[in-house]
Amino acid sequence: MLDGATWSVARDWAADNTFVWMPATSNAGYLVGVWVRSNGVAVDVPEAFNSAPFAIQQPRVTAVTLSADRTAPQPPGTTITWTATATGGASPLQYKWYVSDGVAWRVVREWAVNNTFAWMPATANPSFYVGVWVRSNGVAADVPEAYNSAPFPIVQLSITRRLAASSTRSRLAPPPRIDR
């Protein structure tokens, strides 16, 4: 077995002409080789040999979609739960969440296996975006295999809307009458 740099013996001499191999890591440089010798030959050299390239590549995340549990826009202080749904990759997938204020992106949660993110914006901003990076298990590089983002404006309720809601509540539930 060649890992791209060094040969190693995966199984010593045996009469069985099959070999089961379960590679633990991705490696585009793998070569699987075999030495063959006749029965009764005790010297540790082949009478014939062959090898073949056998690249092992971890499946990659090919796409990710985002969905929110609320529709935009929402007022500040509302919790919006985002869910990322990825396609492909090696489980458990890892997610890194971002929020943009329309000018700059900032990390709001580092790599983790949870595909949901609860976001409670404190201020109004019509230019907010929420984004996610996704990578496969075992990938150590701080880069996504797939990513996506979605706009989500946060707006302050208008005074008219608040007054209308307030006056509706007053008509529906009058204060209790107190007789003296």
Which amino acid belongs to residue 160? T
- Cα–Cα distance list, 119 to 24, 63, 74, 131, 152 (Å): 37, 22, 12, 11, 11
CA 76 distance to own-chain centroid: 27
If you average pLDDT over residues 9-34, what whole number do you get? 88
pTM: 0.66
Q: Which residues contact 3 (CB under 8 A, 6 or more apart)?
A: 27, 29, 30
100, 42: one domain: no
pLDDT band of 179, cuts 50, 70, 90: low
87, 143: one domain: yes
Q: Is residue 170 in a domain?
A: no
Residue ranges making up the domain that contains 42: 1-57
CB-based contact 56:26 (threshold 8 Å): yes
pLDDT at 161: 57
For 22-36, write each residue's pLDDT tens digit. 887 778 889 999 999
Number of domains in the chain: 2
For 81-112, write each residue's pLDDT tens digit. 999 999 999 999 999 999 999 999 999 999 99
Q: Is residue 45 in a domain?
A: yes
